[in-house]
Amino acid sequence: MFDDLFPIDWGAFHFLRPQLLWGFAGVVALLLLGLANLREQSSWKKHIAPHLRPYMISKGSGRVKLLMHLLLMTVLGLGVLGLAGPTWKKVELPGQVLETPMVILLDLSQSMMADDIQPSRLERAKFKITDFLDAGPGARVALVGYAGTAHTIVPLTRDYKIIKSHIETLSPKVMPFRGSDLSSALVLADSLMSVTSAPGTVLLFSDDFVGGDFDLVQEFVGAGNRKLEIMPVNTPSGSDVPAFSGKGVLKADGNPVHSSLNSAVLGQINSLENSAVHALTLDNSDVELIAKDVRENLKFTEQPEEKKDEWRDAGLLLVIPAALILLMWFRRGWVVFCLVIMLSSCGQKQPVEHFADLWYTRDYQAQKKSNAGDFEVAAKLYDNPLRQGVAFYKAGDYEEAIQAFSQDTSAIGAYNLGLAYFKNGDYAAAQMAFGMAASQDPGLKVAQDSKMQLDKVLSGGGKIDPSQAEEQAENGPAKTKQNKSMEDLSGGGQEATKKDMEKERLSETATTGTRTAKELDEVPDDLKMAGKSDDNQEVLLRKIDDDPARFLQKKFEFEVKRKKMKPDPNEKSW
């Protein structure tokens, strides 16, 4: 383990954390105090009669006491040296990043409402997606819903709770066009997975497979680095498709529309390489098998630009002599001698990575960096996701700000979440966040004004001034380009929880798109609200009744309008 460390290169020898060598000052102080206590004369002895002292005080061996004290100081000295991090050899530590992408495609066409699989095809597909995520595939997973057009519900993420929070309210009603366009869904899945060269997997839940789908799947998996796992959610006997109104059955040319399993097409697709069709099971063994296959083929890529030579910390070597000396403490009486010193070292609760960690919390260090304008470093130091989101926003990293902001619950936070969405180019999500802020706190006039302006923008009747958003974020963050990618990966509202905050907040806080919470917090006076808050104002949140399905519906409608998306006219409407 340590063979490559020797011989010691004294020319390169140094300490990684030399500031911790100041710990020797404490060791020297303890040494002097101990030597003083070893003196035979002590102030309290004068209160005992001289002729009684031999019977009242057992002096023991002075040499043993001196040895115990010196050994204790040696152990403390070795500990200080180990914490200081002696080193003389470099080692290359490449950075690794999880690259494996996975996209779940969920058919949201009307035929998925058929009930030949109870409680319905769509509900069973939702159950299976939840079971799959609970099985822990380990990859970055995205969720895409498709009908007449395909849309990203949740972009690639490692937080499966976000995906599960969006699944419950999905239905054909959230889609802007009717149909079942598998082609557009596969194109979108390929776009999401193209962010990396690592092999990706698509997990498809659908009930509609026709002859042309074989060629479509063959082209998709034939492109390489792509694997398709299909879970058909219907039966050979099938079922009539419910009407869009929910009453009766859907009819085409006067006849009921019947949807059933197309075993012939699925058999052809199953014969393709990198394509597999899985039959639904009553338990979760089907999705667990897929999750296991994904988990066993995860790919981590090294980032050459992040490779750097790191000095190898040899402080661990000093544990060996310290442990040998501590074996002496099994002798009777030695434990009591050093008990006070040992107890004094038990107060550190957070891991010590830097000298400042011994004295300040991470949030305090981050606040100092934020006050100095170093927002990127501050965001990495914050343990509090609230303040982390603020730091990301001020640094201009709006994607990370949105993710961090999803951990808070307040009206002001909802407003700031809207600012982050707006700066990221997702106006529909920003509109929803502003609306939540206004519903939580009707007195927050700036949120109401922002929502009204966005309502006009989305309806084509007005414009919004980005400078207002910058002003409400304490003179604004660093300038960045608006997101103009082909696919909006901003995600959306999500459910989350957080512990009640007991510390004073920064001027910007954030909230998720969907949650209920009760929280008591202080609102600082430097937050530029429309009016009424002061440094000691307390805000009591109420329960928020928000429909994420409505949010997704408006988001998809905005995408259709912005990207001028149109459904395939040859696609059937169910």
Q: How confident is the model at residue 98 (pLDDT cuts 50, 70, 90)?
A: low
Output the CA torsion sign for 407, 409, 413, 419. positive
Task: Name the residue with higher pLDDT: 178 or 360.
Answer: 178
Q: How confident is the model at residue 268 (pLDDT cuts 50, 70, 90)?
A: very high
List the structure tokens of 466.
């980005």
Report the mean per-residue pLDDT for the chain: 75
pTM, two decimal places: 0.49
What residues does CATH 1.25.40.10 cover in the chain? Answer: 362-543
Which of helix, strand or coil describes residue 368? Answer: helix
Q: What is the pLDDT of residue 334?
A: 56
For the chain, the 3-state helix, strand and coil shares in percent, each to the nearest 5, are: 45, 15, 40
Q: What is the homologous superfamily of the domain 99-246+256-302 according to CATH?
A: von Willebrand factor, type A domain (3.40.50.410)
Q: How confident is the model at residue 572 (pLDDT cuts 50, 70, 90)?
A: confident
Over residues 476-517, the pLDDT tens digits come to 333 334 444 433 433 333 333 344 333 333 333 333 333 333
Rounded distance, CA 111 to CA 207, Å?
A: 7
In this structure, what DSSP letter does residue 108 have? -
Q: Which CATH number fits domain 362-543: 1.25.40.80, 3.30.360.10, 1.25.40.10, 3.30.70.3190?
A: 1.25.40.10
What is the secondary structure of 214-227 as a DSSP string? Answer: HHHHHHHHHTSSEE
CA dihedral 290, 294, 297, 298 (to 10 degrees): -170
521's CB contacts (< 8 A; 6+ apart) are 410, 501, 505, 509, 538, 539
Whether residue 302 is predicted with pLDDT greater than 60 in this model: the reply is no
Respond yes or no on whether the N-terminal peptide bond of residue 86 is cis (omega within 30° of 0).
no
What residues does CATH 3.40.50.410 cover in the chain? Answer: 99-246+256-302
Whether residue 131 is predicted with pLDDT greater than 90 in this model: the reply is yes
First and final C-alpha spacing in the chain: 64
